[in-house]
């Protein structure tokens, strides 16, 4: 809790900066609007305003600064506007019993969450299996490990549009499956690399000790390697879930998607409704935060039970 005050201070500073940035970002839009509704602004035409800096525009039209905070389609909305939009598309709709309507962000968040979780589970399972294979088979280690490491240096997310097209060519209905596949392979490599590190974490002396008991391979795995890998596993799980979410959202971007937070961002972009983009972004951020926090909590509890953390 020692961190609460500094964190809140920094957050407040960020919000303040955001607020201050709204005026210069939106002043041109506010002036255009005022001009169209017949009010006097200086300079008078958009063309003339183009060459004037936003700071001078604000100084010359102080009366319009307030309007910059209330635009319908702002370049930069205020935090309240984003919060309001998020509430309007989530809490308010839920109160009216339409939480799962296609216009509700709850519905879209659920779509994104489902693919993310499926991908996460699939990617984690394959990653752990791969790691066990690598630790126990020298040939798999030598063949696969270099590629797993190299794969972390390449932007594999570029494959996403391809997987979407491939799956629709193969006649798979909907976007759920391909999105989960994208999420799974983005999560696969971090988990694989982290688990290999974890399973190899026991010191030679610890392995030697079990040798003196002439423990079987399975016993060594269950009693030493697996418990030692748990801290590493959780670290990679947190990276993995964040990667899965990115994968799902990117999978929702290619044209044609209609549901999911990524699709909301895309549609907001195409229809020029910035508030919708910002609300979807905020929802995605909240979801990522919640998922990572949940895993963090799980990690603390597990490690505490295992006696690995005071």
Partner 1 sequence: MMWLIFALAFWAGAWALNAALARSRWRDTRVVRIAVPVLFGVTLLVLWEGMVRGLGVSPVILPAPSVVAQTFAASTETLWEDFRQTVLKGALTGFAIGASAALLTSVAIDRSAFLTRGLLPIGNFVAALPIIGIAPILVSWFGFDWQSKAAVVVVMVFFPILVNTVQGLRETDAMQRDLMRTYAAGYWHTLLKLRLPAAMPFIFNGLKIATTLALIGAIVAEYFGSPTRGMGFRISTGVGSLSIDLVWAEIAVAALAGTAFYSLVALAERAVTFWHPSQRRR
Q: Does 170 bind partner 1 (CB under 8 A)?
A: yes
Which residue in the set 274, 275, 279, 299 belongs to the binding site for partner 1 (CB under 8 A)?
274
Closest Cα partner for 238 from 195, 300, 293? 293
For 157, 189, 191, 242, the CA distances from 163, given in Å and listed in that order, are 10, 17, 21, 20
User: How many Cα atoms are found within 13 Å in the side-chain-facing hemisphere of 264?
Assistant: 27
Between CA 201 and CA 171 the distance in angstroms is: 44
Pick the stretch among 90-98, 195-203, 220-228, 275-283 that binds partner 1 (CB under 8 A). 275-283
Residues 276-305 that bind partner 1 (CB under 8 A): 277-278, 280-281, 284-285, 288-289, 292
Shortest distance in whole angstroms from residue 272 CB to partner 1:
8
Shortest distance in whole angstroms from residue 280 CB to partner 1:
7
DSSP-assigned letter for residue 224: I
> For partner 1, how many residues bind (rule: CB under 8 A)?
60
Between CA 228 and CA 207 the distance in angstroms is: 12
Q: Does 21 bind partner 1 (CB under 8 A)?
A: no
Q: 161 and 250 in contact (C-beta within 8 Å)?
A: no
For 3, 46, 48, 120, 134, the CA distances from 270, given in Å and listed in that order, are 41, 24, 28, 30, 46
Which residue in the set 147, 305, 307, 310 belongs to the binding site for partner 1 (CB under 8 A)?
147
Q: Does 212 bind partner 1 (CB under 8 A)?
A: no
Q: 51 and 30 in contact (C-beta within 8 Å)?
A: no
Other CB atoms within 10 Å distance of the CB of residue 216: 10
Closest Cα partner for 292 from 231, 229, 237, 233? 237
Which residue in the set 196, 249, 257, 263 belongs to the binding site for partner 1 (CB under 8 A)?
249
Residues 114-143 that bind partner 1 (CB under 8 A): 138-139, 141-143
Q: Does 171 bind partner 1 (CB under 8 A)?
A: no
Pick the stretch among 99-107, 218-226, 263-271, 300-308 that binds partner 1 (CB under 8 A). 263-271
Closer residue to partner 1 in complex, CB, 224/299: 299
**Residues at the contact surface with partner 1, assessed by CB under 8 A:** 2-3, 5-11, 14, 75, 138-139, 141-147, 150, 152-155, 157-159, 161-162, 164-166, 169-170, 238, 242, 245-246, 249-250, 253-255, 261-262, 265-266, 268-269, 274, 277-278, 280-281, 284-285, 288-289, 292
């Amino acid at each position: 809790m020692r961190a609460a005050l500094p964190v809140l201070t920094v957050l407040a500073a960020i919000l303040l900066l955001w607020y201050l940035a709204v005026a210069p970002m939106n002043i041109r839009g506010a002036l255009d609007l005022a001009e169209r509704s017949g009010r006097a602004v200086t300079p008078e035409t958009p063309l003339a305003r183009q060459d004037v800096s936003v700071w001078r525009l604000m100084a010359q039209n102080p009366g319009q600064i307030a309007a910059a905070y209330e635009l319908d389609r702002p370049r930069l909305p205020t935090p309240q506007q984003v919060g309001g939009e998020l509430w309007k598309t989530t809490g308010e709709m839920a109160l009216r019993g339409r939480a799962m309507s296609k216009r509700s962000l709850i519905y879209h968040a659920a779509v994104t969450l489902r693919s993310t979780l499926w991908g996460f589970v699939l990617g984690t399972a394959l990653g752990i299996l791969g790691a066990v294979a690598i630790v126990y088979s020298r040939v798999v280690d030598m063949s696969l490990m270099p590629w797993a490491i190299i794969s972390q240096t390449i932007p594999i997310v570029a494959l996403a549009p391809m997987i979407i097209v491939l799956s629709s060519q193969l006649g798979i209905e909907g976007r759920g499956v391909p999105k989960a596949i994208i999420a799974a392979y983005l999560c696969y490599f971090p988990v694989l690399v982290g688990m290999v590190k974890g399973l190899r974490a026991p010191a030679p002396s610890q392995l030697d000790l079990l040798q003196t008991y002439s423990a079987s391979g399975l016993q060594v795995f269950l009693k030493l390697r697996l418990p030692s890998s748990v801290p590493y596993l959780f670290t990679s799980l947190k990276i993995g879930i964040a990667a899965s979410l990115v994968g799902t959202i990117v999978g929702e971007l290619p044209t044609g998607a209609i549901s999911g937070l990524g699709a909301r961002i895309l549609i907001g972009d195409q229809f020029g409704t910035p508030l919708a983009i910002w609300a979807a972004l905020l929802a995605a951020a909240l979801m990522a935060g919640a998922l990572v926090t949940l895993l963090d909590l799980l990690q603390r509890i597990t490690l505490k039970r295992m006696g690995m953390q005071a």
